[in-house]
Structure 1
C-alpha cells in the first residue's frame, strides 16, 4: 500500500538520549515531524514511526488494531533502549495513550513521558453504537485537522475506521485501569480548547497515575493537533527542557 507523501517515518541517530514520538489515531508522522526535527537538532536520538494502517487509506487502517499500533511503538522503544542511556516517550492524542501503555509495561526503562492532549477516553453519543456500526459500515466522518493556526493542515484521514476505532475503545479499559502503574516523570500539555478529546481525558491521567514528578501546562492558542499549531514552539521548548533535565539526573544518578 503506497504511503501518502509526508506520512513517512522519521529517524535520527544522535546522543545517548533517545526520544520515541508516537502520532495519533488516523493521523501520521507528519503531525509530529517538526517536533522530531527540533529534538534531533538538539542532538537527541529520535524515532517517529508510522503506525500500521496510518498514512495510507482509512480502509487499510480498518485492517489493523490497537495491538498492531502498540507493537510497532514497542519495537521502536526496545531498539532505542538498547542504544540509549535515557529514553523518553512523547505522544499526541492516541500516541499519548500508547506512551502510557509502554510506561506501564516497561516501568523504569522508560525515563519519562511527554503527553500532548493524551487520549484515554472519548465523548461522543455515537460511541455506544460502534460495536454494532463497525459490522454495518466501514467508517464515519472524522474530526480531523483540529488546528487553530491558519494555513496548516494535518495529514489525517477524512473518515474514522470503526473496526480499528473499536479496538482502541476496548484497549482503553485496561489502559485506564492500570494508570496507577505509571510512576515515571510526566510532562502533560493540553489545549484549553480541544474539539476532539475532552479535558476529562487529561484529568483522568493526572488523577490516576502514581508519578510524583508531574507538570501540567495548558495551551491557550491551539486546538487538538497542538504540535502543528500556534503553541508548537512552546511544546518543543518545554519538552527539550524536561528531557534534558531527566537525562542530566540519570547521568548524575
Structure 2
C-alpha cells in the first residue's frame, strides 16, 4: 500500500528502504535518501502504519502493524532492485534489524541509525526513563490519551533546523515533523518491540553499519553497543561527535550519507566478486 507521504527515488538495481522513527515521518529520511540516490541507489522512503495523522490514528496501530508496513514496503522495493538494503532511524532501526533477522536472504545490509531500545539520553527527564513500565500501564487500560511531549533540543544540534522542526511540530501538520509528543500506549508498543528485537539480534547475519551520535540526547550510545554485541554479522561503528539523535538530518548528515553509500557499495562489490568466481 502506497501512503501519501511515501517517496520513491529511482536509481539503479541497488535499493535502500528507509524507515523513520516513532511519531516521525518519511521527511526525516529524505536528505539521506537524496544523498544515496545521488550515489546511484534506488531509495524508497516509507510511511509507517498509523503515522502522519493524528494521535488517534497512531493509537489505532501497534508495533505489529508498523512492522507489517515495513514488510509490504520491502516487497514493493524488491520488485525494482536486485540488492536490498534497509536503514532506519531510532525505532526505525529496530524495525530494520527485525527485517534483517527474518529475511536474511533478502536483506543485503543494514543501516542502524540511532537505534533506540531505551530512551536513556541526557535530555530525557527521569519520569520518561520510567517508561519501561508503560506496557503494564497499557495492559491495565490506563493513560490512553496521555503522552510525553517532545523537549528541546528535539534531537538536533543544528539550532536553525531545530527551530524549523519545533515550529512544524507546533503547526499541527504531522506529515512534516511528526507529532509533538509520544503517546504512552505507543511507547508501550515500542518497549515490546524493543524486547522482541533484542531476542532476534543473534539472527541478524547481514552486515550492519551502526551509526550513533556520541552525545545522543534521546538514546545513549549503550543502544548502539547492544547492537554491536548482539548481531551475528560483520559490523562497522560510526560515532558522530557533532550531532544529536536525528543524525539523518543533523550537522553530520553528509558524513552519514558518504559512509552509508560506501558501506552498501562494498557489500554489492563483494557479492559481485563471489558471483563472478562461481
- TM-score w.r.t. the length of structure 2 is 0.84
Deviations along 1:166-224, one digit per CA (max 9) or x if unpaired, are 1121122221012111111111111011121122211111111111x211011000000
Of the candidates 20, 41, 44, which is equivalent to residue 44 of structure 1?
Answer: 41
- Corresponding position of 1:191: 213
Aligned to 2:105, what secondary structure does the other structure show?
helix
**Aligned pair 1:240/2:256, yes or no?**
no
Between Structure 1 and Structure 2, whose CA radius of gyration is higher? Answer: 2
Of the candidates 139, 148, 173, which is equivalent to residue 195 of structure 2?
Answer: 173
- For structure 2, the 5+ residue unaligned runs are 121-128, 166-176
Q: Distance in 2 between matches of 1:55 and 1:150?
A: 24
Q: Please show how residues 197-216 of structure 1 align to structure 2 within 5 Å.
A: 197-211=219-233, 213-216=234-237
- Corresponding position of 1:127: 132
Aligned to 1:218, what secondary structure does the other structure show?
strand
Of the candidates 10, 19, 24, which is equivalent to residue 21 of structure 2?
Answer: 24
Of the candidates 220, 223, 226, which is equivalent to residue 247 of structure 2?
Answer: 226
Q: Offset of 1:59 from its aligned partner?
A: 2.9
Contact 1:59 1:161 in 2 (8 A): no
Q: Distance in 1 between matches of 2:205 and 2:134?
A: 35
Q: 1:249 to 1:157 in 2, by over 3 A?
A: same
Aligned to 1:243, what secondary structure does the other structure show?
helix
Q: Distance in 2 between matches of 1:232 and 1:47?
A: 18
Q: Offset of 1:137 from its aligned partner?
A: 4.1
How many residue pairs get aligned? The number is: 247
Q: Offset of 1:77 from its aligned partner?
A: 1.0
- For structure 1, the 5+ residue unaligned runs are none
**Aligned pair 1:78/2:72, yes or no?**
no
Q: Offset of 1:81 from its aligned partner?
A: 2.4
Q: Where does structure 1 differ by over 6 angstroms across 4 or more consecutive aligned residues?
A: none
- TM-score w.r.t. the length of structure 1 is 0.91
Of the candidates 81, 102, 106, which is equivalent to residue 103 of structure 2?
Answer: 106
Q: Distance in 1 between matches of 2:263 and 2:19?
A: 17
Q: 1:126 to 1:73 in 2, by over 3 A?
A: closer
Contact 1:63 1:164 in 2 (8 A): no
